[in-house]
Amino acid sequence: MEHVEGKTAFITGGARGIGLGIGRAFAGAGVKLAIADIDNDSLASAKSELAKLTAVETFNLDVRDREAYARVADETEARLGPVSILCNNAGVAAATRFTYEFWDWMLGINLNGVINGIQTFMPRMLERGGEGHIVNTASGAGLVAEGSSVMYSTSKFAVVGMSEGLRRELEPKQIGVTVLCPGPVGTNIVGNSRITQPAARDAEEAKTWAAVTDQVTAVLARGVPPDEVGEMVLVAVKENRLYIHTDRVMEKYIIARTKALLDALPPAR
């Protein structure tokens, strides 16, 4: 989608972190914005900033709520016109324990939230025809299960696989697909995730989670600024790139995993 000016983009998790970085990049390119998030204060702040550059509508949306998603989609297109760029960016990352409650929480947002965005907007794009683009935020942990929780890697591996398959499916229909696989980015994703995270069982677990939050946030603070990631996403949409890497942190792990996969193949016949 070489020409994005005047198009409408819908960005989940768009009031903070990477989502806000994407919004800033798109706004600077003349894209109209629908920003969805669960934090009303951040939504108000994002709208105040971005409305100086482009038309902006904001929506409080839990991406797990399919009925609310459909309603917000209708409101978005009534106010801003057809959504041509969908950024499924909302996600969580936090300390977890192995319970159904945590599986449902992590997969509900990181995977089902992406599915809900696709199922809400993709049929509309296909029915209208013309160019469109879908950006799914995964993670470097969606390419290699290194240094991340099992639940987080599970959710992000699924998003990568879905994006690769969806790209092949939609390419003949003029809809591009990009999967964003960031390394460390300077966001507060772990702290923000605790807003919806299942409650700690006791004070000791809460203390452990707080320590993990502080440690991971300190690491992320040294990562790529969200605004730089936003510019990467804008370029990827314009050039119809499949993958976005924000750094080379995962390089040696990707090489090692690829080698292990190839080494495991049976001998050629």
Q: Which of 166, 180, 92 is nearest to 136 (CA)?
A: 180
69, 152, 243, 253: which is the annotated catalytic residue? 152
Q: Cα–Cα distances in Å, from 189 out to 193, 235, 254?
A: 6, 24, 24
**H or E segment at 100?**
helix 100-110
DSSP H helices, 129-250, are 150-170, 189-193, 203-221, 226-239
Give the number of residues written for the chain.
269
Q: Which of 44, 49, 45, 6 is nearest to 24 (CA)?
A: 49
User: In degrees rounded to 5, what are phi and psi of residue 19?
Assistant: -60, -40
Do residues 180 and 160 touch, judged by C-beta distance below 8 A? no
Q: Which residue type sits at 56?
A: V
DSSP letters along 108-130, please?
A: HHHTHHHHHHHHHHHHHHHHH-S
Tokens of 136: 């799914």
Do residues 1 and 84 touch, judged by C-beta distance below 8 A? yes
Active site residue 69: no
Residue 59 exposed, middle or buried by CB count within 10 Å (0-12, 13-18, 19+): buried
Beta bridge partner(s), residue 1: none
For the annotated catalytic residues, the residue numbers are 152
